[in-house]
Amino acid sequence: MSDPNSPNRFNEENATYAVRGEGVPDLDAGVAAIRNVLKTLPVRPGVYRMQDARGDVLYVGKARALKNRVNNYTQVTRLSKRLQRMVAQTRSMTIVTTNNEAEALLLEAQLIKRYRPPYNVLLRDDKSFPFILLRQDHAFGRVQLHRGARRYKGDYFGPFAGAGQVRKTLNALQKLFLLRSCTDGFFATRDRPCLLYQIRRCSAPCVGRIDEAGYAELVSDARDFLQGKSTKVQAKLAEQMQAAAENLDFELAVILRDRLKALTFIQGSQAINAEGVGDADIFALACKSGVMGIQAFFIRGGQNWGHRSFFPAHTNEVPEDEVLSQFLMQFYEEVPPPKTIFVDRNLEEAKLIAEALAERAGHRVALGVPQRGPRRRLLEQAQRNAVEALDRRMAESTTQAKLLAEVADLFELPEPPERIEIYDNSHIQGTNALGAMVVAGPEGFQKNQYRKFNIKRPETIAGDDFGMMREVFGRRFARAQDEDPDRQGGTWPDLVLIDGGRGQLNAVKGVLEDLGIEDVCLVGVAKGPHHGRDGREVFHLMDGRELTLPVNSPVLFFLQRLRDEVHRFAIGAHRDKRSKAIGASPLDEVPGIGPARKKALLMHFGTARAVRGASLEDLQKAPGVSAAVAQQVHDYFHTR
C-alpha cells in the first residue's frame, strides 16, 4: 500500500457537511442532514463518518459507491431500530474518497480504531500482542520479548497469545541456543560469566566464551526454529552430538544431548497439532442470546503460539458475518496478517478482505474455510473453544451483574452502575506524588480508561492526601464538564469509590459542590479498626452513615478487589515516576540538548555538576558540542 503520509494516500477529497440545529435526537433532522450530503456526494469508493450535533463520531462505514450507500440511510423504514437511532442522532457527515474499495476497507478500520464509534462493532481489547524480537543491531544479538512499535533492527516473530507463551518460548530458546537475554549495558560491563552461563542458558559471548561466528550460527539456528524449521535444527544437533562423541569430546556431546532433549520435549508439548499448517491464524465465532465471542488460534511455522478469546462490543442487531468481518479488519490493524487465515464461515466480503490485508502485508493473503484434514480439525477445535469461552463469559457476566445489582442496593443507587471510578493517591513523604483512577463496569476493569494525575498545583502541599484528592477531582470533573456536559458520552461515573475515610470523602464532596455537581454518589472505603486484617472495611457515605459488611460477603470481596486494583495501579505509576526521577539529569532541562549531546557532555566532564560549573571555553572543547550549543548550555546554568 502507498505511504500513509503521502498526499496521494487517498484522493484529496475530504469535506464535512452539516445541518444546523441541535437538541433532542430527531429522525427527520437526521435524514435531512444525510440528504444534504447526498447533493454533492460522488459515486466513488470511500469512507463516511456520521457525527452528532457535538461532532462526535457515531459511525464509520465504507462503500464501493458512496452516493448509493449513504442514500440507503434515508430509507428509514428499511433500517433496523439500531440504525434508526443512529440516523436520529446524525447532524453532519465527513466524507473521504479512496482509489478503490480495498483502500476504503483499510481506512475504515483505521478510523474505527481512532474514534471507537458507538454504532460500530469494536474489538474490545486493550492489550498489544507480544512478539519475540531477535535483534540484529549488535554483534551478539539479543533475544527478548517485544511489544509496541518496531523500533529495533531485527526479526520479529509473532503474534503470541500472551506474555506467558512468549516467556515459555524464550526459555526454550535459552536452553536450545544459548542466546543472551541481557541488556547491552549489562553485556558491556561483564568480566566473568553470569549465572545463566553456569546453568547452561547462555553461551557467555560477553567474556569471549564463544566467538562472533559461532554465536551467529546459534542465532541462525534460533531463526530457523522460530520459522518452523525445527526438523532441520534437530538433525543438525544430532549430527554435531555424534561428531563430538566420535572425537571423544564427551562434555560437548552432553551439552548437545541436553539441547536435543529440550527440542524434542518442546515438539511434543504442543497442545495443538498444527504440523503442516505453516503460518496461519484461525478464527471461530460463537453466539448465544445475542452475545458473541471469537476464538483465535495463532500458528506460526507449524507451531502453536497460543490462543485468545475476544468479545467484541456493540454487536446487538449486527449479523454474525458482519461482526466477524469487522473484527478481522480491526484485529489486523495491530498484527501483521499471515499468508493464510481460516474462518468458520463463508464471508460475503472474503475476497475484498483478503485483497485489503494483502495490500497491508505486502504479500498474498488467502482467506477461506478449510473443509478437511488437519486444518479442518484445527477449526473445529477453535469452534469448541469459542463456545466454551462464551459460556464462561456469560456465567461471569451473570455473576458480575448480580454483584452490581447488590452494590446498587447497598449504596441506594437507582440502578446497577455502568461505570464505577475508584481513586487513590501515592507518594513517599510528598515526593513524586500522583493520583490514580481506575474504572470498572459490567464487563470488568476497563484498563483503557485508567488515568494518572501528576500532582502539580502550587497550592497542593506535598504529602497532603486531602489536598491531593481535591486537585485530582477538581481536574477530573472540570474536564468532564467541558468535554461531556450532557453526560451522553459514557464517561460520567454512576459510583465513585475513594480509598480513604471521612476526611478524604469530605474533601472530594466540597470540590464537586464548588463545580455544581451534586448527583454523583461518593463512597469512602477505609480500613476497619483492625486495619483491614479482619476484612471489615468501613464504607463512609455522603450523609454521614458508615456501613460494614460480613467478612464472607461477595459484595465486600468485589469492593475490596476494586480498591486493591486502584492501589496496585497507583503504586505502579508512582514507581515508574520515581524511577524516571532517579535517572533524571539537570541536562534534561537544557533546551536543544538531546541524548547524543547529553552523552557527549557527560563523557567529557564526568558528571552533570561538572557540566554546570564549566566555563564557556571548557564547554566548547567538548567533542560534538558546537559553539552555539556551548553558549546555550552556559547561559542556561549561569543566567538563571
**CATH tag, 421-483+491-581:** 3.30.420.340
The secondary structure element, H or E, covering residue 14 is strand 14-18
**pLDDT of 280 strictly over 80:** yes
**pLDDT of 23 strictly over 70:** no
What average pLDDT score do residues 116-126 get?
A: 83
- Helix axis angle, 81-89 relative to 27-38, nearest 10°? 80
- Inter-residue contact 325 to 123 (CB < 8 Å): no
Which neighbouring-strand residues pair with 495? 420, 521
The secondary structure element, H or E, covering residue 292 is strand 291-300
Q: Which three cell numbers stand for residue 427?
A: 507518594
Domain residue spans of the chain:
14-115, 131-268, 280-391, 421-483+491-581, 586-638
pLDDT digits (tens, 9 = 90+) for 4-21: 443 334 443 444 444 433
- Inter-residue contact 92 to 21 (CB < 8 Å): no
pLDDT of residue 582: 53
Distance CA 579, CA 635 (A): 29
Q: Do domains 280-391 and 586-638 have the same CATH topology?
A: no
pLDDT digits (tens, 9 = 90+) for 52-64: 988 889 999 999 9
637: Cβ–Cβ under 8 A, 6 or more apart, which residues?
A: 586, 611, 612, 613
pLDDT bucket at 1, cuts 50 / 70 / 90: very low
DSSP notation for 25-76: --HHHHHHHHHHHHTT--SS-EEEEEE-TT--EEEEEEESSHHHHHHGGG-G
Cis peptide bond upstream of 159, omega within 30: yes
- Give the predicted TM-score (pTM) of the model: 0.69
535: Cβ–Cβ under 8 A, 6 or more apart, which residues?
A: 528, 551, 556, 560
Q: Where are the alpha helices (DSSP H) in 337-424?
A: 350-361, 373-410
Long-range contacts from 83-87, C-beta under 8 angstroms, 24+ separation? 83/119, 84/27, 85/25, 86/30, 86/50, 86/58, 86/59, 86/119, 87/27, 87/30, 87/31, 87/34, 87/50
**CATH tag, 14-115:** 3.40.1440.10
pLDDT of residue 576: 76
pLDDT of residue 275: 63
pLDDT of residue 230: 66
- Inter-residue contact 383 to 355 (CB < 8 Å): no
* 617 or 9, which is more confident: 617
- The CATH number for 586-638, chosen from 3.50.50.60, 1.10.150.20, 3.30.1330.10, 3.40.50.1980, is 1.10.150.20
Residue type, 356: A
Distance CA 327, CA 121 (A): 7
- Closest to 309 in 3D by CA, of 332, 289, 327, 334: 327
- Range with lowest mean pLDDT among 178-187, 207-216, 238-247: 238-247
Q: Which three cell numbers stand for residue 374?
A: 488437519
Instruction: Give me the CATH topology for the region 280-391.
Output: Nucleotidyltransferase; domain 5 (3.30.420)
- Inter-residue contact 600 to 622 (CB < 8 Å): yes
State the Rg of the chain over Cα. Answer: 30
- Closest to 58 in 3D by CA, of 122, 125, 127: 122
